Structure 1
Amino acid sequence: MIYSKKIILKNGQEALLRNGDEPDGKEVCDVYNKTHAETDFMIAYPDENCFDPEKEAKFLSDTTKSPNDIEIVAVVDDKIVGTGGIQAIGTIHKLRHRTDFGVCVLKEYWGIGIGKAISEACIECARNAGFVQIELNVVSDNIKAIEMYKAMGFVEFGRNPRGFNSRISGYQEVISMYKCL
């Protein structure tokens, strides 16, 4: 799936949101590892990343060619500072209406609208791909993200009190949310 849009961030900087593609493999892999080291709210730790730059490049190439999956990168001053994407939950009839969603932003770029912009882009792409429901999981302590998702129309549909087992804080409650498109 192809996507491209320029936006102005809260700090006045311009950002380009676009689909990631094969040449972005190393930089996206680096951003994944850094964002997953900067907060304990992510699903994995950098040492658990199963993608190296070559596998990431292949994944990005495949999502660019996909009619319903995408990985969006946020570029500020020619640097990828965040990513987000949608991925079909399944292709069988009972699941093909649903897509999973995730986003990450480098900590130095938090609070200026990148996460929200990537989220809105993913929602737009999900609608265009024909999905009728977009889903996510968020750690219950991640209050800012939860507030943003609720403001965007996501609704909580469940909680798992031991959803993540953090190396730092032990078990973390994970909230499942969805948005009808």
Structure 2
Amino acid sequence: MVINQRIYNVKGLQYIIRSAATSDADELSHLRVQLDGETENLDREPGEGYMNKGDFEELISRDTESKRNLFLVAVVHNEIVGFSRCEGNELKRFAHKVEFGVCIAQERWGYGIGKELLQQSILWADSAGMKKMTLNVLETNKKAIDLYTKFGFEIEGVLKNDKLLSDGKFYDTVVMGRFV
């Protein structure tokens, strides 16, 4: 699915949120590796689950054509600094919901980019008739949990000792859902 782009001005920074285009594929491939190395809030180590330009082109094309998927990018000065995806399911028993994920370059944290990607995704999901949005978040990512809660997400459960981080300790994953 494709949405209309929006322009934001926050703390002196102007950014655009728009649907991903296949021409973004190479930049997204490099950005994803960078973002995986900036925080342990994401699921991957840098380079794990690597997606090249072609992989991203296929993903973006599929998401653009699907009524159940949405791939958004955040752009500052013609450079992608973050992205989010909502991924639905074609199976009838799960067709009412989408899973949301987001990542933002660390240098752009604090400008509301993640919040706006989430808000645009919620607006899209509601207009597309989705009855539920789900997401997973690391227990230590309190800012994200607070943000999701403000937007109507509830904690549905906790996956105990779900992730092993670089400090050698296990951490829980919080499963959250938003219902229409």
Return the TM-score normalized by structure 1: 0.94
Provide the identity percentage. Answer: 27
CA-based RMSD: 1.3
Any gaps of 5 or more consecutive residues in structure 1? none
Q: Which amino acid aligns with 2:175?
A: S
Aligned partners of 1:16 and 1:74 also within 8 Å? yes
User: Take 2:7 and 2:21, find their aligned partners in 1: how far apart are those partners?
Assistant: 20
Aligned partners of 2:28 and 2:56 also within 8 Å? yes
Aligned partners of 1:6 and 1:14 also within 8 Å? no
Aligned to 2:23: 23
Indicate the larger mover: 43-52 or 164-173.
164-173
Aligned to 2:55: 55
Aligned partners of 2:84 and 2:102 also within 8 Å? yes
Aligned partners of 1:21 and 1:60 also within 8 Å? yes
Any gaps of 5 or more consecutive residues in structure 2? none
Aligned to 1:166: 165
Report deviation, 1:27: 0.7
Indicate the larger mover: 161-170 or 37-46.
161-170
Q: Which amino acid aligns with 1:83?
A: F
Aligned to 1:127: 126
- Structure 2 residue 8 is matched with structure 1 residue 8: yes
Report deviation, 1:61: 1.6
Aligned partners of 1:156 and 1:177 also within 8 Å? yes
Aligned partners of 1:9 and 1:113 also within 8 Å? no
User: Take 2:10 and 2:170, find their aligned partners in 1: how far apart are those partners?
Assistant: 34
Return the TM-score normalized by structure 2: 0.94
Aligned to 1:75: 75
Report deviation, 1:17: 0.8
After TM superposition, the runs of 4+ consecutive aligned structure 1 residues lying more than 6 A away are none
Q: How many aligned residue pairs are there?
A: 180
User: Take 2:169 and 2:39, find their aligned partners in 1: how far apart are those partners?
Assistant: 14
**Secondary structure of 2:60's match?**
helix
Aligned partners of 1:41 and 1:139 also within 8 Å? yes
Report deviation, 1:32: 1.1
Report deviation, 1:143: 0.8
**Secondary structure of 1:47's match?**
coil
Indicate the larger mover: 100-109 or 166-175.
166-175
User: Take 1:58 and 1:27, find their aligned partners in 2: how far apart are those partners?
Assistant: 14
Q: Which amino acid aligns with 1:165?
A: L
User: Take 1:59 and 1:146, find their aligned partners in 2: how far apart are those partners?
Assistant: 27
**Secondary structure of 2:73's match?**
strand
**Secondary structure of 2:12's match?**
coil
Report deviation, 1:63: 0.8
